[in-house]
């Protein structure tokens, strides 16, 4: 036996797709995307939660609970007794740290807290993530390997060990990018 429920027009009014999302849903999505960018670039979970709550306290009418797990971010909003809660989950994959993106995201959060409109915040977010890395990956690899070689020079004056450490640093950095 198959049971079906009739969908009333009132139930479909709250489900909007694409550009016709409610401002609350747009704010929650923006919050999740900013939190994902901060977390995947190495910002601590505590700081990401603080930033996300700053955004939701400014742009959302109801309180939002943010929970960060090892690989996911969850935002849950209780929308009152007459409507079901709204929960969004976003999976996070780690990337190479990019402090320029982190700084821009933190500036964006401060601007939102200062009164930046939702439309402007969304446009600024898209502009931030569209920026390509400043330095090529090979230059970053050499810089990281030079740091390991420099740290080795603190403990030894053998150039064989320093060069070996530099080469190992290059290999480790290459493997982390793959």
Q: Tell whether 125 and 153 lie within a shared domain.
A: no
Q: Tell whether 25 and 90 lie within a shared domain.
A: yes
Residue 24 lies inside a defined structural domain of this protein: yes
Q: Tell whether 122 and 146 lie within a shared domain.
A: no
pTM: 0.72
Residue 111 lies inside a defined structural domain of this protein: yes
Q: Tell whether 158 and 75 lie within a shared domain.
A: no
Q: Tell whether 67 and 146 lie within a shared domain.
A: no
Max CA separation in the chain (angstroms): 81
Q: Tell whether 56 and 86 lie within a shared domain.
A: yes
Q: Tell whether 107 and 142 lie within a shared domain.
A: no
Q: Tell whether 93 and 109 lie within a shared domain.
A: yes
Q: Tell whether 172 and 88 lie within a shared domain.
A: no
Residue where one domain finishes, among candidates 130, 147, 163:
130
Q: Tell whether 123 and 147 lie within a shared domain.
A: no
Q: Tell whether 74 and 124 lie within a shared domain.
A: yes
Q: What's the rounded Cα separation, in Å, for the pair 171 and 9?
A: 60
For 31, 80, 84, 85, 103, the CA distances from 88, given in Å and listed in that order, are 10, 17, 13, 10, 25
CB 58 within 8 A of CB 113: yes
Q: Tell whether 95 and 33 lie within a shared domain.
A: yes
Domain enclosing residue 152, as ranges: 137-177
SS3 74: strand
Residue 8 lies inside a defined structural domain of this protein: no
**Number of domains within the chain:** 2
Q: At what angle do helices 45-59 and 99-113 cross, to 10 degrees?
A: 30
pLDDT at 15: 47
Residue 10 lies inside a defined structural domain of this protein: no
Q: What is the pLDDT of residues 131-175, one digit of tens each?
A: 887 778 888 899 999 999 999 999 998 999 999 999 999 999 876
Q: What is the pLDDT of residues 92-142, one digit of tens each?
A: 988 877 888 999 999 999 999 999 999 999 999 999 999 887 778 888 899
Residue 9 lies inside a defined structural domain of this protein: no
């Amino acid at each position: 036996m198959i049971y079906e429920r009739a969908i009333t027009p009132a139930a479909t009014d709250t489900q909007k797709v694409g550009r016709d999302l409610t401002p609350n849903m747009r704010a929650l999505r923006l919050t999740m995307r900013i939190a994902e960018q901060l977390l995947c670039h190495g910002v601590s979970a505590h700081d990401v939660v603080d930033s996300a709550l700053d955004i939701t306290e400014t742009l959302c009418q109801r309180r939002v609970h943010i929970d960060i797990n090892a690989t996911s971010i969850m935002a849950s909003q209780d929308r009152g007794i007459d409507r079901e809660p709204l929960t969004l989950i976003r999976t996070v994959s780690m990337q190479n740290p990019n402090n320029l993106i982190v700084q821009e995201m933190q500036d964006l959060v401060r601007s939102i807290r200062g009164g930046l409109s939702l439309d402007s915040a969304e446009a600024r977010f898209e502009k931030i993530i569209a920026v390509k890395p400043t330095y090529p990956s090979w230059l970053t690899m050499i810089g990281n390997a030079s740091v390991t070689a420099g740290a080795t020079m603190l403990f030894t004056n053998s150039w064989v060990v320093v060069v070996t450490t530099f080469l190992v640093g290059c290999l480790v950095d290459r493997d982390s990018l793959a």
